[in-house]
Structure 1
Amino acid sequence: MKRVQRVARKRRIDMIFWLSLGLLSLIMLGIRFSEANTQTNEPTNTPVVTKKNEQKATITASGDMLYHDILFRSAYDGSGYDLDNDYAQIKPILKEADLSLGDFEGTINPDWQLSGYPMFNAPEEVADSIKEAGFDVVDLAHNHILDTGLAGLKSTAATFKKIGIDPIGVETDQADAMVIKEVNGIKIALLAYSYGFNGMEATLTKKQYNQYLRDLDMEKVAADLKKAEEVADITIVMPQSGVEYSLEPTKEQQKNYRKMIDLGADIIFGGHPHVAEPTEIIEKDGERKFIIYSMGNLISDQRFESVGDYWTERGVIMEVEITKNDGGTKLTKVKAHPTWVDKEPIAGRFYQHPEYGTVQAQDYQVFLAENYLPKGKYADTVPEIKRQRIETAYYRMLDLLNIQW
């Protein structure tokens, strides 16, 4: 009986083994059939998807560098002008960018006396400070470029060229009308124009005016933008226009800047009002174009204590990203970095002002406002009342710009 049971149990085990083996064979056969069927049905002309060739460039732009005489007279240490710390705190963001654009308002004319408002003429050391900060290009198309005459225009442009900074907005030779910067394989056209020249253009002949100055004649602008479209991947315009100290653009600003976009500009970095003005995104041909009507002051003596306006001590560094690939070149990122001008007495240093006599020297620095938010990099380095003033500047600026990216 036991032997019969053992034989029956062995038969059941054998049966389970062979059934399992058969089931495994069917599964393997099904997998092979599925693979074969998939291979048979796959189209032979399916394109191979490859990663597009792509280059990116980061560009920064900022507002007016307005050198009132107290800025450079305070920096005189007996042997020269020590301006090294003016831009120390914004230097990292400028250096990290592939291209940094600035707006120098005034002249640098060594054959003219140094002066601030209303006829600006700064020492050559300011250009070295701007270079050290990381600026690659400066806009010279502004209403003060003739403050020290045509010679001042020429010497200002020459001073920046000598240290490797490209001036735009004035034409001292044929190449200056439009500057093309190639950055990471992306060709960027740079143009700049001013609404006027404080009446100083009356000192020029018509030929000189047409040769050296770039004004906001929209027919000329249209011709320049057409040329830019032919040679560049992206076009940036830095116009100087608007009403000083107004937080809103004029109808003329809106009309002209939007027209520039229609004519081929991709980015408008506006200046002149000495306060910031809002931004605008324009859809064109399926792409987004960017306008900021004014970037305010980057550095100046126009703080609240001087002029009674908090907005004149506030500015912004705009950061944009340009992307070029097989589909073309377009704007892919826009970011604002609000700035604030700090002013502190320099202990033990005074200077003789030709009009005001003995004056306490002041140290000016451009602060990156985000560093002074709670837990920011430099939040603990200033008194709380100052930190709150900077924090207020930061949020008010972002609210005003209203970037809808």
Structure 2
Amino acid sequence: MLKYIYTDRKTGVNQLRRGHILGLLVIAVILAFLGTTLFSPPLPAGLGPEVLPPGIPDNEPRVLSATLAAVGDIMGHLTQVEQARTTAADGSVVYDFRPSFDFIAPALLDADITVGNLETTLAGSARGYSGFPTFNTPEELAANLKEAGFDLLATANNHSMDMGMSGLKTTVENVRAAGLLNFGTYLTPEDRDTPLIVDVNGIQIAFTAYTKSTNGIPVPRDHGYAVKYIENFQDPSPMFEEIAAARRAGADLVAVYMHWGFEYSFDPADYQRDLAQRLADAGADLILGSHPHVIQPLEWITVREGERAGKRALVAYSLGNFVSNQFHWPPYIPTPAVQYGLLLQVELEKNLNSGETVISDAGYQITWVHRDWRHRILPVQEVLKRGPEEYNLNSAQMEELEEGLAWMKGIVETFRFSELK
């Protein structure tokens, strides 16, 4: 009785599989063995042909898969800070932002990797905590984000320099001390020049982030490495070069956070769409937008040129606000849509035979910030299914969410995202 070794797809452990072989086949095998083994010199280990018997599948895994979740702007307005303030057992003042993530954390934790845009600084209490227009949020936020399911944060945006160079560096240090990775702002030139590539279930994902503005606060000339900043993206060539470098460094997929567009606009500007196409042509697979503070559409883009011509990239022109204290406040904030955000959920697959990695599927959830209840981020579809009681909502708010969901989905689907996926 012969024994064939195969690999269990789930455990990766070699198992023994028994099969009954007819007498003639046994004789044939013995004769073949005598002919090749007794009269031929042995082959060095590893050089012999690998032959699978008929009907026995090659169970070596051929596809790796991973899931990625991405959200938009993580803000730190003073109202949020004040509501997070509490007293520790020793009487000291501490800040607890965890209630904001009570209902959304399961979706964040469910993904293999979760990322968002940190649009505030964590520069320490000595600088004083502040909100708009120059943000400084208690550093406890970083640990709370980690606990909620975040793995890394984009930190290149128009508020990166709100507390100057020292504040930028302290922010990076506090983010990393909480066990999070960051990209877009850096401590050293070497830090900036080393591609951030994260292994997610065997798929190598590169992350980078760029901003079009630092709100007029200049980055010191001798610290130009500190922020990936291209004024109004007038010369995007450094981004294209970085994408190519990430590919050379072994990235299977490249994700780019872009701080771009115009505040409170539901439509991507012409330059956003043009630049998204150019980023895709340069090798970006996933383009994640922030800055407008409202949701903008999702769109599939077909690569036009180069080795990747014909392949698709996915762009979220703006993921909106994930958490903030923004609300409809005309004329300063002209829309209630600032309370809504997009949780993008992406499935990735890497074909081990071809080496190709693709976005195999993508979907989204609409979120809403319950400002009257510790800024809890609510998954709108789930809320509408389960009812108001669990979420401290009244009937008017439920009606608002039902209308808001239809409104936001209409924006997201402007370019037929779900139809074309």
Which residue pairs with 1:340 in the alignment? 368
CA distance, structure 2, for counterparts of residue 118 and residue 293 of structure 1: 24
1:322-333 map, 5 Å:
322-325=348-351, 326-327=353-354, 328-333=356-361
Which residue pairs with 1:370 in the alignment? 381
1:270-281 map, 5 Å:
270-281=289-300
Matched residue pairs, number? 341
Which residue pairs with 1:321 in the alignment? 347
Which residue pairs with 2:183 in the alignment? 168
Which residue pairs with 2:80 in the alignment? 71
Q: Is the 8 A contact 2:300 2:313 kept in 1?
A: yes
Amino acid at match of 1:55: L
1:38-187 map, 5 Å:
50=58, 53-78=62-87, 79-110=93-124, 111-173=126-188, 174-177=190-193, 178-187=195-204
CA distance, structure 2, for counterparts of residue 314 and residue 257 of structure 1: 23
Partner SS state of residue 116, structure 1: coil
Deviation per residue, 1:97-130 (Å, 9 max, x gap): 0000011101111131110000100111111221
CA distance, structure 1, for counterparts of residue 113 and residue 246 of structure 2: 18
CA distance, structure 2, for counterparts of residue 193 and residue 163 of structure 1: 23
Q: Does 2:203 correspond to 1:198?
A: no
CA distance, structure 1, for counterparts of residue 389 and residue 57 of structure 2: 48
Question: Identical aligned pairs, as a percentage?
Answer: 29
Q: Does 2:411 correspond to 1:394?
A: no
Higher helix share: 1
Q: Does 2:282 correspond to 1:263?
A: yes
When structure 1 is superposed on structure 2, of 282-291 and 236-245 the one drifting more is 282-291
Q: Is the 8 A contact 2:287 2:316 kept in 1?
A: yes
Q: Structure 2 vs 1, CA of residues 150 and 167 (structure 1 numbering), >3 Å: closer, same or farther?
A: same
Which one has a bigger Cα radius of gyration? 1
Deviation per residue, 1:43-72 (Å, 9 max, x gap): xx9998646511111000001011111101
Which residue pairs with 2:267 in the alignment? 248
CA distance, structure 2, for counterparts of residue 186 and residue 141 of structure 1: 24
Amino acid at match of 2:284: A
Deviation per residue, 1:338-393 (Å, 9 max, x gap): 10000226xxxxxxxxxxxxxxxxx2111111111244696775222111222222
Q: Is the 8 A contact 1:94 1:135 kept in 2?
A: yes
Which residue pairs with 2:245 in the alignment? 227
CA distance, structure 1, for counterparts of residue 96 and residue 54 of structure 2: 66
When structure 1 is superposed on structure 2, of 327-336 and 76-85 the one drifting more is 76-85
CA distance, structure 1, for counterparts of residue 201 and residue 209 of structure 2: 23
Amino acid at match of 2:407: R
Partner SS state of residue 191, structure 1: strand
CA distance, structure 2, for counterparts of residue 183 and residue 385 of structure 1: 42
Q: Note the C-alpha offset of 1:82.
A: 2.3
Partner SS state of residue 294, structure 1: coil
Q: Note the C-alpha offset of 1:192.
A: 0.3
Q: Does 2:302 correspond to 1:283?
A: yes
CA distance, structure 2, for counterparts of residue 228 and residue 166 of structure 1: 17
CA distance, structure 1, for counterparts of residue 220 and residue 113 of structure 2: 35
CA distance, structure 1, for counterparts of residue 110 and residue 260 of structure 2: 29
Q: Is the 8 A contact 1:372 1:391 kept in 2?
A: no
> How large is the RMSD of aligned CA atoms in angstroms?
2.1
TM-score, normalised with respect to structure 1: 0.80
Q: Is the 8 A contact 2:114 2:150 kept in 1?
A: yes
Amino acid at match of 2:268: P
CA distance, structure 2, for counterparts of residue 132 and residue 256 of structure 1: 35
Q: Is the 8 A contact 1:303 1:341 kept in 2?
A: no
Q: Is the 8 A contact 2:388 2:398 kept in 1?
A: no
Q: Structure 2 vs 1, CA of residues 374 and 92 (structure 1 numbering), >3 Å: closer, same or farther?
A: closer
Q: Structure 2 vs 1, CA of residues 380 and 156 (structure 1 numbering), >3 Å: closer, same or farther?
A: closer
Amino acid at match of 1:224: E
Which residue pairs with 2:323 in the alignment? 299
Q: Structure 2 vs 1, CA of residues 244 and 86 (structure 1 numbering), >3 Å: closer, same or farther?
A: same
Which residue pairs with 2:45 in the alignment? none
Amino acid at match of 1:90: I
Q: Note the C-alpha offset of 1:175.
A: 3.2
When structure 1 is superposed on structure 2, of 388-397 and 188-197 the one drifting more is 388-397
